[in-house]
Amino acid sequence: MSKLQFTLLQTALFWEDKQSNLQSIESKLKASAGSGQVIVLPEMFTTGFSMSPSKLSEPMDGATMQWMKRLAGELKSVITGSFIAEEKSNYYNRMVWMLPTGAFGYYDKKHLFGFAGEDKHYSSGYKRLIASVNGWRINLLVCYDLRFPVWARQQFNDANEFEYDVLVYVANWPEKRSLAWKILLQARAIENQCYVIGVNRVGLDGNEINYSGNSMVIDPLGEVLYHKEDAEDLFTITLDKQHLDEARRKFPFWKDADRFELFSDNNAESA
């Protein structure tokens, strides 16, 4: 399909209160006129950016996954965002791609934020997830991954086909470093010749860290199509594949890119 709708939820989060967050998010989504084909929630949307996984983590058949399955089915949309998952006695900052059918894929955050001690509490992921929906390919990444461009870099097959069309970052990115957030999102769009979506939270967390949102949608030429600062917001945008293809055709910078390999899981479920 030539067009794909994304709904971005920029919201405040209740600190380490899963039930309140799930109720609040569901209420906001259901109160809107309608949702896009893909709904994007912030990083750790059930808890905020907590370093207490031993008390807050859930198994993959737990309440959050059941909530995502039910809501994706009711809204007939893909829902994606990260929460604290436990698997084989390890904790992960896990971004789930939940289909309306209940099938799902997931990505475990690779770059753990040592500045806040995330690397002491969580295990790092080791492979990317590129999901598919309606002929579009979506690369799913989390917050601090944004600072490491190699992990997001487009790769090409022998037919010179782009690996993905949209790069999605979910985050709890503090207001103090919001300039880096905005600049790096634009840089990832320009260098990878793709759309970039960044969804961040707003408000204070339990550590008195303030988040200013600055959720954004950026086109493959680096133009900002959407930007919201400081306030809660629910925004739906339609991305145009024709515009993406035209930008890649008109400016074929990708032909001069360095070739390298990263391990990716390109067999995610398709919507």
What distance in Å separates the CA atoms of residue 119 and residue 122, rounded to the nearest whole number? 5
Which is the catalytic residue, given 43, 118, 163, 175?
43
Q: Beta 202-204 vs 195-200: how paired, if at all?
A: unpaired
The kind and range of the H/E element at 211 are: strand 210-218
Q: Is 109 a catalytic residue?
A: yes
β-sheet bridge partners, residue 138 = 131, 166
Rounded to a whole number of angstroms, the distance between the first and last alpha carbons of the chain is 12
Two structure tokens written together for 33: 């006129």
What distance in Å separates the CA atoms of residue 236 and residue 234, rounded to the nearest whole number? 7
Which is the catalytic residue, given 109, 118, 163, 175?
109
Question: For the chain, where are the alpha helices, taking DSSP H only?
Answer: 18-31, 53-56, 63-75, 118-121, 149-152, 178-192, 241-250
Query: Of 96, 3, 82, 98, which Cα lies nearest the Cα of 49?
Result: 82
Residue 161 burial (CB < 10 Å; 0-12/13-18/19+)?
Answer: exposed
Which is the catalytic residue, given 69, 143, 163, 182?
143
Query: Of 62, 2, 84, which Cα lies nearest the Cα of 37?
Result: 2
Two structure tokens written together for 3: 């067009």
Q: Is 143 a catalytic residue?
A: yes
What distance in Å separates the CA atoms of residue 133 and residue 38, rounded to the nearest whole number? 9
> Annotated catalytic sites, by residue?
43, 109, 143
